[in-house]
Amino acid sequence: MTIRVMLADDQALLRETFRMLIDSCDDMKVVAEAADGRQAVELARGHRPDVVIMDIRMPGTDGLAATASLCAQRELTGTRVIILTTFETDEYVARAIWAGASGFLGKDIGASDLLTAIRTVAAGNALLSPNATRALIARFLATPELDANNRLASPDQLAVLTIREREAMALAAGGHSNEEIAARLVISPLTVRTHLHHAMAKLNVRDRAQLVVIAYQSGLVQATPRH
């Protein structure tokens, strides 16, 4: 199955570079290109891509607003967004996750890592770089009002999860991979993935990134302030 990718960036040269890279792979293809956020939303409706590579800073409607609009549309529930930008700041990371992005990567990422990111997100998994994960946690610590205004779930809603699902969710929020979680819980990586997917379904969230948000919001895990 070919992964359908849409590019949204105001730099034509960068879009062309990405298109050449992506189209060189047998398992993915660029189906549309947008130069701003408004166009990205319109093209996404028409092409229904599996993955959108979205820049943040674009003229008119920026990438964060476009991501929020795209992810809110029922007909695009199968579309995943990767935010790709040079501005990997606490605020941008948090806002990207609130908007519904499934991944957040810096533009200094290598070609092979970008292709892996597309495949990861297309498979239904969330992708956050280590810097983005740390920044997201730091954002909660620095601005609790942002946390309160964007709450995805209340603590009592975690009651629907099994003990194993909570354990897997807590370790995922700590930045551990499925393999690392499996080793800690003495289960298989496939079982870890199953637990996390069940947690996502029960809490009605899009992906692993939003599970991390809920883990800190609900107090399931506690963030340690950075010095």
Q: Tell me: the pLDDT tens digits for 29-70?
A: 999 999 999 999 999 999 999 999 999 888 888 898 999 999
Mean per-residue pLDDT, 7-33: 95
pLDDT tens column, 93-140: 667 777 788 887 777 788 898 899 899 888 877 666 555 555 665 555
Distance CA 88, CA 33 (A): 23
Q: In 3D, which of 43, 42, 38, 41 has the Cα closest to residue 30?
A: 43
Q: State residue 140's pLDDT score.
A: 56
Q: What topology does CATH give the domain 153-218?
A: Arc Repressor Mutant, subunit A (1.10.10)
Domain boundaries, the chain: 3-138, 153-218
- What kind of fold does domain 3-138 have according to CATH? Rossmann fold (3.40.50)
Quick one: pLDDT band at residue 2, thresholds 50, 70, 90?
very high
Task: Summarize pLDDT for 138-161 with one digit per residue, the tens.
Answer: 555 555 544 445 555 667 889 999
Residue 22: closest CA among 34, 43, 7? 7
- pLDDT average, residue stretch 7-31: 95
Task: Report the C-alpha gap between 67 and 70 in whole angstroms.
Answer: 5
